Structure 1
Amino acid sequence: MAEILIRNTNERISGEEQVREFLESHEVLYEHWDVSKLSGELQENFILTDEQKAAVLQTFEPEIKDLAARRGYKIWDVITLSEATPNLDELLAKFEQIHTHTEDEIRAIVGGKGIFIIKGPEEIGYFNVELSPGDVISVPENIPHFFTLMENQKIVAVRLFIEENGWIAEPFEDPSFIKA
């Protein structure tokens, strides 16, 4: 279940309803999928073949098609990151740059853990959304953010896109941002 850490105050928000309420107040979509639907071979597997990625998409096809119908997504895929990912440190360094997009950035976490760091209004500042399997989040277009892995450095996520070329990150310079 997702948890939120407000960086300026170290306040933690937990519990599905409280997390959803906080995120919705910042126009961030939050939903939850039942990851127990995944077969045993796909649970806790962070090195997926193309066939296994297709099986993940097949497992969550109803949820994906529902999101696509509601929000206009045209394509989707599965991304996996772990210690077995070539150049993982370089990829994380690239991910950990504040940016925006011209479309929302959505992730459905089906394995492992990750964090979206999102810029809220001035009185809130940046907040971390710590995601676990089943958490689905969509950061609105033009909201400064970035995504990275948690300490276990393992994740399997479904990504959905409106643009058929995927999203393009626009760097966002913010001297007020302090890395945790």
Structure 2
Amino acid sequence: MAEIRIRNTNERIQGDANVSEFLNNQNVIYEKWDMAKLPANLKEKFTLSDEEKAEILSVYDPEIRDLAARRGYQTWDIITLSEATPNLDELLKKFEDVHTHTEDEIRAIVGGRGIFIIKGSDDVGYFDVELEPGDIISVPENVAHFFTLMDNRQIVAVRLFIEKDGWIAYPYADPSFQKS
């Protein structure tokens, strides 16, 4: 279950209904996938072969195609990050700069944990969305945000794209943003 921390007040929002309501008010889509569908041999596995990635995509094909039909996604893939990822720290630096995209950024977490830091409405400011397996989040286009890993530094996620070039970030300079 996702959990939200509002950075300005340190307030925490828990529970699927409360998280969904808060994110909906910030125009962020939040959904859940059934993690019981994932085969046991792929749970908590953070170094995946191409065949194992294809298996995950196959298991969640109906959910992926449903999202694609509703939101116009053209391509999708699996991203895995862990201590086994070459140059993990350099890669995370690329993700950890506040940026925007010309399409929404959607991730379906199927293993590990991660955090989206999103610029909310003026009355909210930046907030963290802590994600775990089964959580699906879509940050709207042109909304300042970034993604990073939790302390365990492991994640497996399905990424969906409208643009066939995939993940393209545009830096967003915001003097009000403070890393915590």
TM range (shorter): over 0.9
Instruction: Output one character per residue of 1:10-49: Cα deviation in whole Å (capped at 9) or x when no partner.
Output: 0000000000000000110000001111111100000000
- Please give the alpha-carbon distance, in whole angstroms, between the structure 2 residues aligned to 1:78 and 1:167: 12
- Please give the alpha-carbon distance, in whole angstroms, between the structure 1 residues aligned to 2:52 and 2:167: 24
Letter in 2 for 1:165: D
Q: CA RMSD in A?
A: 0.5
What is the DSSP-based 3-state SS (H/G/I as helix, E as strand, rest coil) of the residue aligned with 2:153?
coil
Q: How does 1:79-94 map to 2 (within 5 A)?
A: 79-94=79-94
TM-score, structure 1 as length reference: 0.99
- 1:128 equivalent in alignment to 2:146: no
Letter in 1 for 2:115: I
- Please give the alpha-carbon distance, in whole angstroms, between the structure 1 residues aligned to 2:149 and 2:167: 19
Deviation at 1:167, TM superposition (A): 2.9
Aligned equivalent of 2:156 = 156
- Please give the alpha-carbon distance, in whole angstroms, between the structure 2 residues aligned to 1:124 and 1:23: 11
Q: How does 1:94-113 map to 2 (within 5 A)?
A: 94-113=94-113
- Please give the alpha-carbon distance, in whole angstroms, between the structure 2 residues aligned to 1:25 and 1:159: 23
Aligned equivalent of 2:55 = 55
- Please give the alpha-carbon distance, in whole angstroms, between the structure 2 residues aligned to 1:154 and 1:167: 19
Deviation at 1:122, TM superposition (A): 1.8
Contact 1:102 1:167 in 2 (8 A): no
Structure 1 unaligned spans of 5+ = none
Aligned equivalent of 2:10 = 10
- 1:26 equivalent in alignment to 2:47: no
Contact 1:116 1:148 in 2 (8 A): yes
Deviation at 1:131, TM superposition (A): 0.2
Aligned equivalent of 1:168 = 168
Structure 2 unaligned spans of 5+ = none
Letter in 1 for 2:7: R
Runs of 4+, deviation exceeding 6 Å: none
TM-score, structure 2 as length reference: 0.99
Aligned equivalent of 2:70 = 70
